[in-house]
Amino acid sequence: MNVRLFTKAQFRIGTPSLADVTSPVDKEWANRIRALAAEKDAVILAHNYQVPEIQDVAHHVGDSLALSRIAATVPESTIVFCGVHFMAETAKILSYDKTIIIPDERAGCSLADTITADQLREWKAQHPGAVVVSYVNTTAAVKAETDICCTSSNAVEVVQSIPADVPVLFCPDQFLGAHVQRMTKRDNMHIWMGECHVHAGINGSELKAMVAAEPDAELFVHPECGCATSAMYLASEGVVPAERTHILSTGGMLDAARTTKAKKVLVATETGMLHQLRKVNVTTVFEPVNRAAVCKYMKMITPEKLEHALVHGTDVVDVPRDIADRARLSVERMIAIGTPSRVGE
């Protein structure tokens, strides 16, 4: 089977003109937001799963790690992170001396919440000598207990960098872990049974039904999805040609969208991703495998809350210095492998 795993990814950088805005955003509001950002010496970062209005007014759009790395390099002293809480924490870890703001600190993450630092320490105690590999979709406290982080596009390479005789504890996403285990054929890999409630809800039966209804469509499937295994099975059984089945990070989806010649692509990830896919390729039809795959936490960041955050400087995200220092090491070890995966989530 020749299922392609994309590892190279691109994201939108620079400050786009508001004339390029494609969502039904109030241009007066957008101009006011940009003016406030300039006044506050702030840069606005938006995750791919944010509502279109937020994506289009942001200075940079991408995945959490890509945006956190941008936060560390931009000259502005304040970062307004439109995403979920662990993402803002990661930005703080990589740019500790800057002020990090999230428009609603209650915007959590069901995947990050599946494992705590205490649970990870207990798991490590049960497997002395094992190397802990944590997906970047984890809290700062969990990263601080981690040996090396990974993204969905470099997880295979990160695990392959660990000696074959050394046990691996992989957390927290069970579907990404299963994908890595399939690709590496590693039998000493222990996988935490966590999941993103949105991606887990995109199941194999829905994917099979969509493939049956759209036999000529390509498949873009995020490895966090519950249907990732089904996608690989369908390809191996010839239900859908393997060359049209792509297990992709969000950044990989953007890469593939730019080059695909398909008339239609079925997309298995959070529906907010469709906005960027449709912007980079206006000739292909991108349809969600599950239209209900909407993250309520991502959608907690609204245009009104973004404006409130810029006006009032809230909500500030902080991470204790010792935790940030330890967490930073796990990210730096990943980057040292040589696959920083600028947008590999």
pLDDT in tens, 79-89: 999 999 999 99
Q: Are 158 and 181 in contact (CB under 8 A)?
A: no
Share of the chain above pLDDT 90, in %: 70
Q: Residue 44 is encoded by which pair of tokens?
A: 């606005």
Q: Residue 26 is encoded by which pair of tokens?
A: 């109030």
Identify each DSSP E strand in the chain by its residue range: 4-5, 42-47, 60-62, 78-82, 99-101, 131-135, 148-150, 168-171, 189-191, 218-221, 245-247, 264-268, 285-288, 316-317
CATH for 9-108+297-319 (3.40.50.1220, 3.40.630.10, 3.30.70.20, 3.40.50.10800): 3.40.50.10800
Q: Are 119 and 335 in contact (CB under 8 A)?
A: no
Say if residue 245's pLDDT is above 70.
yes
Q: What is the mean pLDDT of the chain?
A: 89
Q: Say how far apart CA 65 and CA 83 lie, in whole Å.
A: 11
Of 39-43, 152-156, 322-326, 336-340, which range is least confident? 336-340
Say if residue 204's pLDDT is above 60.
yes
pLDDT tens-digit readout, 246-279: 988 898 999 999 999 999 999 999 999 999 999 9
Q: Say how far apart CA 43 and CA 73 lie, in whole Å.
A: 11
Model pLDDT, residue 266:
96
Q: Are 16 and 4 in contact (CB under 8 A)?
A: no
Model pLDDT, residue 228:
74
Model pLDDT, residue 337:
81
pLDDT mean over 210-239: 82
Question: Fold match between 112-193 and 199-288?
Answer: yes
How is the chain split into domains, by residue range? 9-108+297-319, 112-193, 199-288
CATH number of 199-288: 3.40.50.10800
Q: Which of 211, 205, 207, 222 is nearest to 295 (CA)?
A: 222
Cis peptide upstream of residue 315 (ω within 30 degrees of 0): yes
Q: Could you please report the per-residue DSSP string of 15-38?
A: ---GGG--SS--HHHHHHHHHHHH
Q: CA torsion sign, 331 to 127 to 139 to 78?
A: negative
What is the number of other CB atoms lying within 10 angstroms of the CB of residue 134?
Answer: 29
On the 0-12 / 13-18 / 19+ scale of CB atoms within 10 A, 213 is exposed
Model pLDDT, residue 23:
54
Q: List residues bridging with 82 in a β-sheet.
A: 46
Q: Say how far apart CA 173 and CA 332 lie, in whole Å.
A: 21
Q: Say how far apart CA 217 and CA 267 lie, in whole Å.
A: 10
CATH superfamily, with its number, for domain 112-193: NadA-like (3.40.50.10800)
Say if residue 7's pLDDT is above 90.
no
Model pLDDT, residue 165:
97
Of 46-55, 233-242, 272-281, which range is least confident? 233-242
Model pLDDT, residue 111:
95
Residue 176 vs residues 71, 101, 154, 200, 227: alpha-carbon distances, Å:
26, 29, 11, 11, 11
